[in-house]
Amino acid sequence: MQLGMRAVCALAIAAGVPVMHMPGHANPLVVKTEQGRIRGKYINGQQVRAFLGIPYAAPPVGDLRWRPPEAPASWNRVREATQYGHRCMQGHMYRDMVFQDPGPSENCLYLNVFTPAQAKPRNKLPVMFWIHGGGYQEGSASEPRHNGDFLPLKGVVLVTINYRLGVFGFLATPALAAEDNGAAGNYGLMDMVAALQWVHNNIHAFGGDPGNVTIFGESAGSFAVSTLMTATEAQQYFVKAIGESGGAMSLGAPGTPTLAQVESRDQTWADSLGAKTLAELRALPAQKVLDASLKKGAPGFWPVVDGSLLVEPVAAAYAAGRQSHIPLLAGWNEDENTALSEGMTAEKWKEFAAKHFPDRTAEFLQLFPADTDQDAVQSAIQYGSARFIALGTWEWIEAQRKTGDSPVYRYHFELPAPGSKFHPGGVTFHSDDIEYVFGTLDTRPGAHWGLADRTMSDQMMTYWTNFAKHGNPNGSGVPDWPSYNDDNLVIHLNKVITVAPSTVRAQYEFLEKFLPPPRH
């Protein structure tokens, strides 16, 4: 009995035997993009094809430093796409960031595509476009926790990207504004838009649907998602959004200052490097620029209202309903920031309340109580988490619910991760959700995961990919997740998944009124 070539290939793959592609049969590891053909590799037991280090823009070096991204050059021969490209220039403040790339470089505008092994262009699978976190200062798509071994097994195409960071991504001076019709900064956001455009033009060749793209990100990546939803230039490239711990609203640090608020400050910093012109500034070694940007007293470099990509503060766009009217899935972790709780007692918490809310101490303590030391510790975690990132995320969710004309699904991630090399055990800390969402638990150094963790990871992957497919996280095999829109219902992701009304509204409405606005 003779077997067809397709059956032979399937048996070979199942046995772990590399398949030799006969003449006349297309090699699934070679894909044609607009710039040229690339060759990827199989990962995860040949269940997924990975195409790594694909340039989506020209290297932003030399005269292209602090300019909008330009199209990448084309090539004639098959380009190898089996290794990550360089990560963007950055310091190393976040100890839990581990990388699989050759190192930092200005030549860093690369993306990666992970697609099911058998995906064909006609399949038109939903696309999930990941924006990494790191405070807009650090991070890379090459972090092992962002690996694409598992999400594609849920029937999606995953894209992960690098984008310019820190001073290289967000410097905004009067000279740069004069050069670009009054706009400056936001080069990192422009990189994201360029990567989205690349996806729109190329992802069909990998089995993805350019008309069904979900942008998602964590921390700064979630800030970016909330921001891109207000950028007209970006809105055409995605139809759903997921935000994990971050929203660029009025009290969600750093918000979106205007160009006028930061350009003088940024120019003073640029002058300190001794360069008298933009040409001289662009000629400085990248490491010298980076080192100067990391010194004590240097400004922070973040997205700004530049009048071009962003024409108004993010919060104002949502208030007016000018953001993308698309389904949103968003939430945060239970213990986003525990620093304030260390050594906390009831007496210390009452002193904190009197110092920071002298005119409303009693009201504050009613919402963040200090009846016992244990209460004070929990209140400090709740307040610290809100002040750090949860409040801005909540503001974003509320704004989209009010003016977005689309379903909103809100979660609260509560399953404590095991202790590991870089993450505290027994809490649900900032960024603890990432490995669960990607199914990459075993990439975290020193963590010993249990059955509850692996079950939760599979459930979160299912919810996230269901949402990417349908704009609704529900489906077979997972507990029902109702919309947040009407009844303030939140899904609590813990060993036992439950649904209950939100309990933070009174706390967060108080903080909205009485926290001081962010300084720029």
Can you give the pLDDT at residue 517?
65
What's the alpha-carbon Rg for the chain, to the nearest Å? 23
- Residue 61: closest CA among 104, 93, 101: 104
454 torsion bin: left (phi>0), alpha (psi -120 to 50), beta (else): alpha
Can you give the pLDDT at residue 91?
93
Segments of the chain scoring below 70 in pLDDT: 1-25, 250-255, 517-520
CATH of 32-339+388-506, one of 3.40.50.720, 3.90.226.10, 2.70.70.10, 3.40.50.1820: 3.40.50.1820
- Residue 256: closest CA among 264, 266, 247: 247
- Please indicate, yes or no, whether the overall pTM of this predicted structure exceeds 0.85: yes
Can you give the pLDDT at residue 251?
55
Can you give the pLDDT at residue 25?
55
Can you give the pLDDT at residue 515?
86
Can you give the pLDDT at residue 5?
38
Can you give the pLDDT at residue 7?
43
Can you give the pLDDT at residue 297?
92
Q: Which residue has the tokens 């949860």?
A: 390
Q: Give the C-alpha separation, 419 to 428, whole Å.
A: 10
The answer, yes or no, to whether the previous bond of 416 is cis (omega within 30 of 0) is no
Distances in Å between the Cα of 120 and the Cα atoms of 10, 85, 383, 431 are 15, 25, 49, 33
For residue range 93-146, what is the model confidence (pLDDT) as tens digits? Answer: 888 899 999 999 999 999 999 999 999 999 999 999 999 999 999 999 999 999
Return the ∠ at Cα 37 (arms to 33 and 38), rounded to 5°: 100
Domain boundaries, the chain: 32-339+388-506
For residue range 154-177, what is the model confidence (pLDDT) as tens digits? Answer: 999 999 999 999 999 999 999 999
Other Cβ atoms closer than 10 A to 223: 33
Q: Give the C-alpha separation, 95 to 195, whole Å.
A: 27
**Residues acting as catalytic residues:** 219, 336, 430
Can you give the pLDDT at residue 64?
98
Q: Give the C-alpha separation, 138 to 93, whole Å.
A: 8
Distances in Å between the Cα of 197 and the Cα atoms of 112, 203, 244 are 14, 10, 23
Enter the DSSP assignment of 515: S
